[in-house]
Structure formats: structure tokens, C-alpha cells
Amino acid sequence: MLAVLSPGQGSQKPGFLTPWLGLTGAEARLRWWSALAGVDLVHLGTAADADEIKDTARTQPLLVAAALLAAEHLPMHDVTLTVGHSVGELGAAALAGVLPAETAITLAGVRGREMAAACALEPTGMVAVLGGDTDEVLAALDRHGLEPANRNGAGQIVAAGALAALDKLAAEPPAKARVIRLKVAGAFHTSYMAPAEAALGAVAAGITPADPARILLSNLDGAAVTHGREMVQRLVRQVTSPVRWDLCMRTLADLGVTGVIELPPAGTLAGLVKRELKESGLPEIVTLNTPDDLPAARDLIARHGMAPSHEPTMRFRVVVARSAGTFEPAEGLAEGESLRTGQVIGHVATRQGPVEVTAHDSGPLTEWLAHDNDPVAPGQPLARIGGHHS
């Protein structure tokens, strides 16, 4: 199984889009997206210095544009799963078919501007807490009135909040932990971003999303999202919610992902995956930073993606588990029966109770991929719904 990762803020580097401008149509595409985002993406990706592309209002649409620009040169129809980190979720949602590229770019522009405006309201910031016991680190944050904005796995938690509270945490770090100040404009993914969440939600309310065409993981809980409207709601909520990249990586491991491509500017997420999954089985990784990396990325997709075929193929819609637990198919529901959109086809029994599994499209139940009492992970395929021939 192959996963494509879309990076978030902090991964950008001056001039990182320069080599991509040599590809046919790339500059025209960026100029069109610049009009939608309200920033000059060509300038930001080629000539701007580090300080200019550190500006939240500019960085966020730049990162989404970079990921989507590179993905246009990959056979995405053979990719099984997409996931993004923070603003990278907009790129991942577009690559999964939930949003058109233009909508993702427009939302990234709104998100960046509104989060920058929220940062200006109060002096806030973020620090990385490296090492230490997770429970002790979280308890220390709570004592200082700070919030865990990112949980990136591999012993890394990003704390966010008032600058004075961050100073106190740095002066009294948790046992066996280091505190490193991050050069960011404010406390992202915390309650301080509530005005930005409200503004983004007002714009997102006018979107008509599609349901994902492939597995799409959410930063909220690492679970697969099967409905487009729910993903848009999660994208809005994410502005004030912690990024649980640790849970996303756990799902990658649970699903047995064997190949990973990180879109440009690549490196940060690939590094986290390498550290977190080294014991459970490290996938083959390609960091896609320039067009020179495209052959390696295409080769990885050919070997780890959906199997290509010259025969006419049936387009399947895959129903996936949203939670970990034990699968219980609906009683008497057999392969070959017709399903209607929204029909309950089973439940996942969890510690918190049963979670319904519903068909997100109409068509025949072509194949059960999980059976009664099978343990399942978030994002694990449960059933295939047949579609049209292509």
C-alpha cells in the first residue's frame, strides 16, 4: 500500500519551487492559483527570502500549491492513501478528491490570512518539547496553561500558548526533556485561533465537497474519513485542534503501508516516519523535492500502488473503518446485494460502544474485505462497492 504525504508549515525553504517552474504549464498554474490565494506564489516559491516565506499568510497557500503542483506529475490514480500535516491536510483532501485544487488553494489563502490576524491579537508562540515522559510533559503543559498543539511522535510534542508561560516552561523543563523555541507567529492549533476558525468556517460553509476517492486520514484522530462534508468540518476544526500526527503514523503502520512519498518541500514528515516506524517495519520512502525525483516517485507508485492492468477494470468505492475495534457486518447482508447511500452495512465494536459503518455510495456490495469479529484499524478497508467499468 502506498501513501502520499503533504507537508505543513515550517518545511518551506527559500527557492524550493524554482526547479518546478521549468515544467510545461507550471508557471501558468501558479499564477492562476496566486489570483485565488491573494499572494504571488511564483515570487514566494522562487525569489522570496526565508523571512518572507515565514509569514503565515504567505506560507500556507505556498505549501498547498507546491504539493498540488508536484502531484500533477504523478499517477495519483494508483495511490491508495493521502494524509497531510496541518495545512497540508488541504492538499491531501484535494488529492483524495474531496476538494478541487482551486478550492484547496483558496481555503489555504483564507486560513493563512485569518491565522496571521489571530496571531496579532495576543503575544503567543510555540516550543518543541523533545524527550521526557509523555504524561509528565502533558502535565507540565497543563500546569503552565499551555496546550499541546502538535503531537508528532518520536518523543516530540509542540506546546503553544502565551509567551510568558512558554518562558516558564523553558526555565523549568520536564525531566529528561529539552525545550526549543520555534520561530512561528503565534499559538497555532489552540484556542487562541478561535477567530480564524470562525472565519474559515464561514467560507467553507459554501463548499460542496465530494466523498474521498481513496483513503484519507485526519489529523484530528488518525482515522480515515469517508464523507467529504465531515472532512471539511474537520479541516475547519483543525485550526484550533491539536495535530495528532502520531496517530496518523500509527494508522499508516496498522494498515501496513509499504511505500511513502512526501511531496515538496519534502523531508520533515519522512524523518518523523523513519523514527516512528523503524520498529514496526519501515516503508520505502521517496522525498520529492525537485522534478529530478519524479522517476523514483513514479517507480515507487508502480511497485507499491494499486496494481496496473490492461484489462477493463471495475472502479470500486472502498468503505473503511473509522475507528479501531472489532468488525461486525450487518446480519444477512451478502455479497452481490445492492446498497443505497447511507445504508448501515455493519458496526465496529469499540470500548466506547458500537460505531456504525455506512455505505457512502450506491451500488452492489462486491466484496467483503473484513469479516465477523475481525480486528480492524482506523482506515482499514472493510468492503468494496462496485461502480462503472473503465
Residue 380 CB-density burial (10 A; 0-12 exposed, 13-18 middle, 19+ buried): buried
Buried b (16+ CB within 10 A) or exposed e, 276-313: bbeeeeebebbbbbebebeeebbebbeebbbeeeeeee
Q: 34, 85, 189, 360: which is the annotated catalytic residue?
A: 189
Q: Cα separations (Å) of 351 from 298, 325, 330? A: 41, 8, 19
Are the CB atoms for 376 and 321 separated by under 8 Å?
yes
CB 79 within 8 A of CB 305: yes
* Strand duo 215-216 + 177-181: pairing: unpaired
Please name which of 115, 224, 124, 102 lies closest in space to residue 181, comparing C-alpha atoms. 124
189 tagged catalytic: yes
Closest CA to 376 of 314, 305, 312, 325: 325
Neighbours of 212 (CB within 10 A): 27
- Asked if residues 265 and 16 have their Cβ atoms less than 8 Å apart, the reply is yes
Specify whether the CB–CB gap between 67 and 5 falls below 8 A.
no
Kindly list the distances between the CA atom of residue 251 and the CA atoms of 56, 277, 380, 388, in Å, as whole numbers in the listed order.
Answer: 29, 11, 9, 30
Q: Which residue among the candidates 11, 34, 86, 218 is catalytic per the annotation? A: 86
CB 377 within 8 A of CB 254: yes
Encode burial over 47-71: b for 16+ CB neighbours within 10 A, e otherwise: ebeeeebbbbbbbbbbbbbbbbbbb
What residues pair up with 131 in beta bridges, in sequence order? 177
For 322, residues 6+ apart whose C-beta sits below 8 A from its C-beta are 223, 224, 225, 226, 348, 355, 357, 378
The candidate with the shortest Cα–Cα distance to 220, out of 229, 210, 233, 207, is: 233
Q: 86 catalytic, yes or no?
A: yes
Residues designated catalytic: 86, 189
